[in-house]
Structure 1
Amino acid sequence: MNDSLTALEKENRILRKQLARSESNRAIGEGMKDQMDVLYQSVIEDLQATKNSLTDAFDTISESIHYASRIQRSVLPTTEVMARAFADHFVLWEPRDVVGGDIYWCGRWGDGVLILLGDCTGHGVPGAFMTLIAIGAIERAKPDLAAGDVSTLIQRVNQYVQTTLGQDSHRGESDDGLELGACFVNTAARTLTYSGARFDLFVVDRDEVLEIKGTKKGIGYRGIDYAQRYDLHNLQIRDDCRYYLTSDGLIDQIGGERRRSFGKKRFRALLRSVAQSPMSEQSHRILQALADFQGAEKRRDDVSVIGFKVF
């Protein structure tokens, strides 16, 4: 009997110890749970604060870029300017981002009309800054030159961009510039004078597409001679001719089953197929052809095309 009582007391002591340990572990577990709840809540609050901060930053940047877009568009010629200058025309100007690196300009110059299209280094915000520099250089160069001298105009723009960016010497770190095509239309003389810096003019004459090639040198870059000259082309304007300038955003766009660039051959064929349509319709058809070719590919660059008919 005594042995049985001793055994029961021993088991009872063991059970009490296990119960005490269990209660201790439970208390520890509950404490750890409380700590985890506090830590989890702290992480959630930190993540929410970070999200709010990023959202505020994104909204601020987006507002600034959209405001910059309004500024960039304000320096572009109005549709009325273009309509007064030509019998028919279209302007397709599609920045890849909200702002872009392509720029066009049109206005009176002496007894004629100057129209040009430029493609600046980059796209987005950097490209947009370059367009303002380019427009400033054009506006600065025009008053000092004889109207219609587009070759010297481009030469001066090259010089002004180089000096503005410090690319005419060893100072500065940038190496930026642009490609540009410039047409001077004299309706009284029925002449079109063209000069291009790595920029070509396409002329549709009945069923033929002519490509008037620009000089194979850009504008403003460090490697360009400060006194670089640009070839001048004089054309007689025909009633049934249409004239086109395009940035390389369309030509270089990747697409199709073989993922090749759109290319000049396809562009010339496209011009031939749309040339007899009204200019406003041509713009839509060119944009649709690009979209069909691009398919699911991402847009690589800004896309700009100008078409006009003088008479």
Structure 2
Amino acid sequence: MDTLVAKYSRSPYEDEFYSEQQQREMTECLPPLSLKFDLPPIENPSAFLRAMTDDHANPNAPIKLAHGTTTLAFRFKDGIIVATDSRATAGNWIASQTVKKVIPVSRLDLVTDKPQDAPVPGLLGTMAGGAADCQYWLRYLAEQCTLHEIRHKRRITVAAASKILANLTYAYKGMGLSMGTMLAGVTPQEGPALYYIDSDGTRLSGNLFCVGSGQTFAYGVLDAEYRYDLSTEEALELAKRSILAATHRDAYSGGYINLYHVREEGWVHHGFMDTDPIFWKTKLEKGEFTNVTADV
């Protein structure tokens, strides 16, 4: 590090044929140098990246950073519940604890003087896989949906939006995309509609989906307690507990619980909640997570 700093802190004219006085005068005319360097947040970056391959001994093996998350969505009688965690990982390194993995996909009505808790018209998309791939293609999909709504003067259906995204990802199949997303919305033509789309071009419609490394733990809670006739309060609580179970057991999931309720009028955000107080409240009130024995 000292060698690196010395290299960039010396005068750029030292290698030229200038006298010391000339070097000093020319250096004083330059803006001050900033010795702040953006460095990787790990001790040995090359060793870290070398471990993230299929063959550690092969110097030409492509780097494959493991991604982890937990996202879920399910239909019920009053709409659709969408919930995610907020942890982003690159291999065994936690890159962020505050990623917002739910992205609004289309909203033709952009009135800004509505109450804070008023529904926002449009569809919601979730992120799982590579964050850059998901963010880019969901925002591109939002552009296409907005153009559709401007041309036809009505909201796009969830089926049509999901078909656009599936066609896009299929065109790039085998090129390294990493996506597993869900599209949720309620339209007059379809009612509550939920679709799963991935980077292979797969497109599925269903009542309940979980995507990500923590999906098996979330499915364990959802499969046991999911019913179509859940009340809104019960549905929100079920989604919260499902994400909580995944963050407790899956090392690649964690951070906060992001909760949404999608209705025909639009979606409503129900909070970006820290998992820690929810965990202890659930443990004390419901007697769950009995493997944790720490005093509270």
TM-score (norm 2): 0.41
Q: Which has the higher contact order (CA 8 A, sep 6+)?
A: 2
Larger CA Rg, structure 1 vs 2: 1
Structure richer in helix, relative to its length:
1
